[in-house]
Chain A
């Protein structure tokens, strides 16, 4: 980025910055030490700080991925990610969105099932954690709706709510890692890794919740979140999945963290 007011500074900062993430590159010229020792060792403090700070942040953001592959593997993978895709801005809560796709392409992780999908779920949880606040509809708001009105209602969804679909059982794998070690040991569960799962990630108040969707739920909630009325969303979901369970899905819609108000009550199905 050229700054015409301060042209000369570009050279050393450019070189300094380039050498931070590339251990093969010579540190910039013009560094000195009081005792004449090789500045490479001292420059390595900056190299180390940059990578360790960013990798530490990714470890906090993706704790289940870390558990799945072990700390050593995860840190090596995260270091490769940091070198390939360093942050583009100073708000590090936003750093890591691209890690799941990186994991998917990361050759040494190719035979670890679900890893990229678990990373996607963990990223969705961080996004929900920082998402905007809103007050959910209360049970009494829902009970005020006449049963024959329900199909014609559409809702505005909570800004922190998201629907996730996976081609792997990422939700079950993630959930198994929320148990403590003893519970996990007591409940070994064979997971069919070819089975895709879908979930909602919501944040009704301060805590993020992950809700495994009942059959047909993903289409239903995707439609609902795009503003479709309940009746239409249910019809589409039912058409796409014969097992669509209307009552289980409706019960889920009424949970806090999903709908924040009614909208377009007058709209009728075409």
Chain B
């Protein structure tokens, strides 16, 4: 996986094909420090967890418990590293220091997948710790494409880009999010991370039909799926406003959308994300088992696409 290329000025990145399917097609969980010991214990049901995902920025300290446990857990489980701080959609240039930190992390842990977001989170010297939205137009497509290509060049690998949860739209948008993502894949060769909860949240917030979004999503580029819970609020006019909160069980609507996506895509590595009010390990394991059973069911429905896993192995 780690054949590093020299960054080449201006040329297309010499990245691998955008299958992104380095992760096994099964259900995994977001690894929280509360569950380090559970993951290493044979009696917690951890062996049924298909992979783990960590936030890159939580493992950028020099040593101590985070690295100690991740080293051990990584020996037994496939690993996805998920960046939340690269700010690929920022107007300013990418943070070179942060890219180097990411590269060191990927060198050390050799994860099966690295992903980031279609969002920005910093401006100038200030980091906001949230995933902020972009208008979708030619100009932002150029900006994001440049940043994705630069990232792939620097890291020497294909990355996955996640569709965001958004709460506002921009008058400056001239294209749909899906068309933006398709164009991004075509321009950079990146893969996509389909966050089904984000689909439900954004479609509800912007009065779009989530099933149509799922049906139009370029599933061939998808290397991973995210599932999570949301919180509910209301906008100024009383319309539902869903918040991507990652602090509750996955909603039945999101399970349905997930199954719909799987019927189109075949089995794909699926992550249970739960970042606030982190529950007992068994709760996460049960959600992962649920995802696993939905994956099995989707694979056996008549209209299901043949399992991509059988043809497409790790890039």
A and B: real partners? Answer: yes
Interface residues on B, range: 35 or more
Q: A130: nearest residue on chain B (CB-CB)?
A: B61
Which residues of the partner chain B approach A56 to less than 8 Å between Cβ atoms? 276
Q: B12 in the interface, Cβ–Cβ < 8 Å? A: no
Given contacts A1-B124, A35-B235, A130-B61, contact A54 B129 (CB under 8 A): yes
Chain A 57-82 near chain B by CB (<8 Å), digits 1 or 0: 10000000000000000000000000
**Residue A133 CB within 8 A of the other chain:** yes
Q: Are A131 and B122 in contact (CB under 8 A)?
A: no
A195 within 8 A of B: no
A130 to B101, CA, bound (A): 15
Say which one of A86-94, A143-151, A169-177 lies at the interface with B: A86-94
Question: Is the beta-carbon distance between A34 and B207 smaller than 8 angstroms?
Answer: yes
With known contacts A35-B235, A45-B243, A206-B65, A89–B98 Cβ distance under 8 A: yes
Task: Mark interface residues in A221-243 (1 if CB within 8 Å of B CB, else 0).
Answer: 00000000000000000000000
Residues of B within 8 A of A138 (CB): none
Q: Which of B21-29, B40-48, B164-172 contacts A (4 or more CB under 8 A)?
A: B164-172
Q: Is the CB of A20 within 8 A of B139?
A: no
* Bound-complex Cα distance A167 to B195 (A): 51
Q: Which residues of B contact A5 (CB under 8 A)?
A: 142-143, 146
**Is A12 close to B, CB under 8 A?**
yes
Residues 68 to 103 of chain B near chain A (Cβ within 8 Å): 68, 84-87, 90-93, 95, 97-98, 101
Let me know if B170 and A32 touch, CB within 8 A: yes
- Asked whether, in the complex, the Cβ of B130 is within 8 Å of the Cβ of A53, the reply is yes
Contact flags A81-113 to B (C-beta < 8 A → 1, else 0): 000001111111100000000000000000000
Residue of B nearest to A86 (CB): B126
B63: shortest Cβ distance to chain A, in Å?
4
B212 contacts partner chain A, Cβ-Cβ < 8 Å: no
Q: Are B127 and A86 in contact (CB-based, < 8 A)?
A: yes
Does B302 interact with chain A (Cβ within 8 Å)? no
Inter-chain CA distance A20–B122, complex, in Å, is 11
- In whole Å, how far is B24's beta carbon from the nearest beta carbon of chain A? 29
Question: What 1/0 mask marks residues of chain B from 100 to 137 whose CB sits below 8 Å from any chain A CB?
Answer: 01000000000000000000111111111110110100
Q: How far is the CA of A16 from the CA of B90 in the complex (A)?
A: 12
Q: Which of A6, A37, A87 has the largest count of B CB atoms less than 10 A from its CB? A: A6
The verdict on A129 contacting B65 (CB below 8 Å), with A9-B143, A42-B235, A90-B127 known, is: yes
B 137-180 binary contact with A (CB < 8 Å = 1; else 0): 00110110010000000000000000000011111100000000
Bound form: Cα–Cα A88–B68 in Å: 27
Interface pair A9/B91, CB less than 8 Å apart: yes
- Size category of the A interface is 35 or more
- Taking the closest CB of chain A, its distance from the CB of B31, in whole angstroms, is 16
B58 contacts chain A at the CB level, 8 A cutoff: yes
- The yes or no answer to B66 lying at the interface (CB within 8 A) is yes
A56 CA to B247 CA in the complex, in Å? 14
A194-218 interface with B by 8 A CB criterion:
203, 206-207
Asked if A37 and B236 sit within 8 Å, CB to CB, the answer is: yes
Closest to A206 in B: B65
**B125 and A37 contacting across the interface, CB-CB below 8 Å:** no
Assess whether A90 is in contact with B235, with CB atoms less than 8 Å apart: no
Residues of B within 8 A of A13 (CB): 90-91, 120, 123
Q: Of A14, A50, A93, which is within 8 A of B128 by CB? A: A50
CB proximity to B under 8 Å, residues A21-52: 21, 30-43, 45-46, 49-50
A102 vs B132: C-alpha distance in the bound complex, in angstroms?
28
Report chain A residues within 8 Å CB of B101.
91
Contact with A along B221-243 (1 / 0, CB 8 A): 00000000000010111010101
Query: Residue of A at shortest CB range from B102?
Result: A90
Q: Is B311 an interface residue (CB 8 A)?
A: no
Contact of A34 among B63, B67, B142, B206 (CB under 8 A): B206
State the A residues within 8 Å of B (CB). Answer: 1-3, 5-6, 8-10, 12-14, 16-17, 20-21, 30-43, 45-46, 49-50, 53-54, 56-57, 86-93, 128-133, 159-160, 203, 206-207
List 20 additional contacts besides A12-B135, A21-B128, A206-B68; criterion CB under 8 Å. Answer: A5-B142, A8-B139, A9-B139, A13-B120, A14-B123, A30-B172, A31-B169, A34-B207, A35-B207, A41-B241, A42-B205, A87-B129, A89-B95, A89-B127, A90-B87, A91-B57, A91-B85, A92-B127, A128-B64, A129-B65
7 chain-A/chain-B pairs, Cβ below 8 angstroms: A2-B92, A5-B143, A5-B146, A13-B90, A36-B237, A42-B236, A92-B127
Binding site for A on B (CB under 8 A): 57-58, 60-68, 84-87, 90-93, 95, 97-98, 101, 120-130, 132-133, 135, 139-140, 142-143, 146, 167-172, 205-207, 233, 235-237, 239, 241, 243, 276
